[in-house]
Amino acid sequence: MLEKALRGSPKYWGWVAFLLVLIGAGAACWVWQLTVGLKITGMNRDVSWGFYIAQFTYLVGVAASGVMIVLPYYFHHYKTFKHMVIFGEFLAIAAVVMCMGFIVVDIGQPQRMLNVMLHPTPNSVLFWDMVVLNGYLFLNLIIGWICLEKDRLNLPHPKWLKPIIYTSIIWAFSIHTVTAFLYQGLPGRHYWLTAILAARFLSSAFCSGPAILLLVALLTKKVTKFDPGKEAIATVAKIITYAMCVNVFFFLLELFTAFYSNIPGHIHSIAYLFVGAHGHTGMVPWMWSAAILAILSLILLVPPKLRDCQCLLPWSLGILVAATWIDKGLGLLIGGFTPNHFEQVTVYWPTGPEIMISLMVYGTGALVLTILYKIATEVKQDLGVSQKIECACEKKEESAAQAPEAHAHAH
């Protein structure tokens, strides 16, 4: 099936070339970082994790979110998602690849990274994070590839794949829980030391991940003949809306605990992010933008008429992704480390090289996603499923629905 990614239109190759240039430019910065060290980043003695680990955290959420498509289809036989499942799994693969990329560029001695496997340390959450992420990658590779291959050959899925798929559904919840455990078990980091951090991570993942999936699916619909189908899009949008409601609700819970208890440790990080501290207000515009965008995304997604409007949906989803990204990709890490253990503020902001290297990792993920989606959309095209109808008038839709196809719609 890989050969499907080696043939494409000029637009396809143009996009791949753009990604390769982006990756190359970022790689040059990465070589520089490997030579002189992490001092080219903005990280410092107080904010010792920064942009890289924040992107890792956000992308683990995106990877886990594939389960929002897989679970309804396999546990509840929700047939509408039959042809979207592979796209969820492939997005998970691309996201996990990016997660690992961000870890590799962040550690100080990357050539020693196998030490985590050579000297297993079960009391360290980072060890388990490595285990669950690698496991999830393999699960999705096996499941995605075999399912797609069998579909292409019009063969039934092998029976032994079912328990593996069920495992991957449970596993998806575990990867983001373990990633949350990285943070929520650290004494002294009061912004993270909350039992609902894992719940916040999962709710944020289950709105931002499917939102990204839907955005990519809508983009794929624009540039290929693939059409996920109105019902599938509508259901995913409903899932995203519910998850975002829970996400915002959980954040409000944090605010209540911090400000009603008035305990300084709980308050200080949130205050730094939203009001500033010791004269440092760099994060304030970002966090308020995130808050406004989050509310705006709910306003645009909760009313069914607005949620189902296909012209408005990409914008609503984009706003949601921006809001969740600022919260997890900037606020979470910076807020956790600021103020530091001495109640002082050391400002952190990613440097240019840091962003370039991050773009290299994002570009690599986009490339993996492009290749996998190219294969998946071509297979669907060969099978004649989920294809765009040339003219959107009702009569043609009815006749296309009546045409005999190899798979039944939900009745």
Contact footprint for another protein (CB under 8 A): 36-39, 41, 43-46, 48-49, 103, 106-110, 112-113, 115-116, 118-119, 121, 123-127, 130, 182-183, 185-189, 264-265, 336-337, 340-344, 346
Q: Which is nearer to another protein, 52 or 226 (CB)?
A: 52
Q: How far is the CB of 33 from another protein (least distance, A)?
A: 10
Tell me which residue of 174, 217, 66 sits closest to 182, measured CA to CA.
Answer: 174
Q: How far is the CB of 323 from another protein (least distance, A)?
A: 25
d(CA 276, CA 323): 19
Q: How far is the CB of 103 from another protein (least distance, A)?
A: 8
214, 237 contact by CB (below 8 A): yes
Q: How far is the CB of 112 from another protein (least distance, A)?
A: 5
Q: How far is the CB of 189 from another protein (least distance, A)?
A: 7
Q: Which is nearer to another protein, 301 or 345 (CB)?
A: 345
Q: How far is the CB of 192 from another protein (least distance, A)?
A: 9
Q: Which is nearer to another protein, 9 or 48 (CB)?
A: 48
- Inter-residue long-range contacts of 277-286, CB under 8 Å, 24+ positions, other chains counted: 277/338, 277/339, 277/345, 278/339, 278/344, 278/345, 280/345, 280/347, 282/347, 282/349, 283/330, 283/331, 283/334, 283/335, 286/326, 286/330, 286/331
Tell me which residue of 299, 88, 46 sits closest to 189, measured CA to CA.
Answer: 46
d(CA 304, CA 298): 11
Q: How far is the CB of 279 from another protein (least distance, A)?
A: 16
Q: Which is nearer to another protein, 42 or 72 (CB)?
A: 42
Nearest 5 degrees, angle CA 284-CA 285-CA 286?
Answer: 90
Q: Which is nearer to another protein, 123 or 154 (CB)?
A: 123
Q: How far is the CB of 155 from another protein (least distance, A)?
A: 15
Q: Which is nearer to another protein, 36 or 252 (CB)?
A: 36
Tell me which residue of 200, 198, 204 sits closest to 184, measured CA to CA.
Answer: 198
Q: Which is nearer to another protein, 8 or 265 (CB)?
A: 265
Q: Which is nearer to another protein, 56 or 81 (CB)?
A: 56
105, 62 contact by CB (below 8 A): no
What is the secondary structure of 334-398 as a DSSP string? HHHHSS-TTS--------HHHHHHHHHHHHHHHHHHHHHHHHHHHHHHHHT-SBPPSS--HHHHH
Tokens standing for residue 33: 């970082």
